[in-house]
Amino acid sequence: KEPSDWSESTNGSSQMDSLSLESTSKEAYFSRHPLKWAGKPHELSPLVCAKYGWTNVECDMLKCSSCQAFLCMSLQLTFDFNKYKERCVELKKALCTAHEKFCFWPDSPCPDRFAMLLVDEPRALLQDFLDRFQSLCQLELQLPSLRPEDMKNMSLTEEKISLLLQLIGEELEHKMEGEKPLMKFAMEILPVHVPACILALCGWTCSAASGSVHLSVITCSRCMRKVGLWGFHQLESAGQELDSCSPSSALPAATERSPLVPTSPRRMLTRSQDTLPPGSEQ
């Protein structure tokens, strides 16, 4: 065999090895999330597609990050539920079969653990939760207003939320021991903490601003789904309603306060229940 042939063979082999490493990279796994994906069932979720190396390039169109094969994921409108389910099963199989002949993804997909929560790493879980909470606090009064019945449906009691807020306060106080003066802003922004805590608990984080457009959008940290908050009853609206009943409401003042830093655990517990009148939306 000519030396040039050996060189080409070696280069080709090393290129394939580097590509196959994608299936063991968690960062690469989460980078292949659809940006133009909507109305797809759970079995065709972004993480399922990313598991087999697919990247979203157009609406309903996937492209393999290795063999460059394309796969149309269109789900035609139909009133026949059985046909819809058949199409979903067909597309799920295609995630494996639509690759080129020698593509490694069908035989070497990403491990299932990439999509799982790190329950055996509590510190990592807590840090991710804190990061999401602080990110959501940036939305201030654009966060949704949650009613007591909403939290009851999620099996979240006042006691559980208070414990979570206490944990957040302790962790952030410990990290910012040299920045005590910032704590004075916390009393006026307490209404923000409850929805930020609950959304962070459910895996949501604040979406990065897109260009010059600043919209209140949250993103799931796992499946990357985006949700606009303008369709929900926001804290800002709740504050305006309270204003009409009580001129001395302190909610609007929070919009001018930055940065948002939770108060101490003791103040969270003592003030979280009397910030809003009983029966009003939180």
Would you state the pLDDT for residue 35? Answer: 63
Would you state the pLDDT for residue 198? Answer: 93
Would you state the pLDDT for residue 33? Answer: 67
Per-residue pLDDT of the chain (282 residues; tens, 9 = 90+): 555 444 444 444 455 555 556 777 777 777 776 666 767 888 888 888 989 999 988 888 999 999 999 999 988 777 888 999 999 999 999 999 999 999 999 999 998 888 887 778 888 889 999 999 999 998 888 899 888 888 888 888 888 988 998 898 888 887 776 555 444 434 444 678 999 999 999 999 998 765 545 678 898 888 777 888 888 888 776 655 545 554 444 333 333 433 444 444 344 443 334 444 444 443
Would you state the pLDDT for residue 131? Answer: 93
Would you state the pLDDT for residue 23? Answer: 75
Would you state the pLDDT for residue 237? Answer: 65
Would you state the pLDDT for residue 20? Answer: 56
Would you state the pLDDT for residue 103? Answer: 94
Would you state the pLDDT for residue 34? Answer: 61
Dihedral angle sign, alpha carbons of residues 144, 146, 152, 158? positive
Q: What is the pTM of this model?
A: 0.61
Q: Which two three-digit tokens encode residue 27?
A: 């960062």
Would you state the pLDDT for residue 210? Answer: 57
Alpha-carbon distances, residue 89 vs 42, 81, 96 (angstroms): 12, 12, 12
The continuous run of DSSP H or E covering 201 comes out as helix 190-201
- DSSP count for the chain of H helices, then E strands: 10, 6
Alpha carbon 187 to its chain's center: 27
Would you state the pLDDT for residue 257? Answer: 38
Would you state the pLDDT for residue 27? Answer: 76
- Are the beta carbons of 239 and 252 closer than 8 angstroms? yes
Q: Which two three-digit tokens encode residue 35?
A: 């940006």
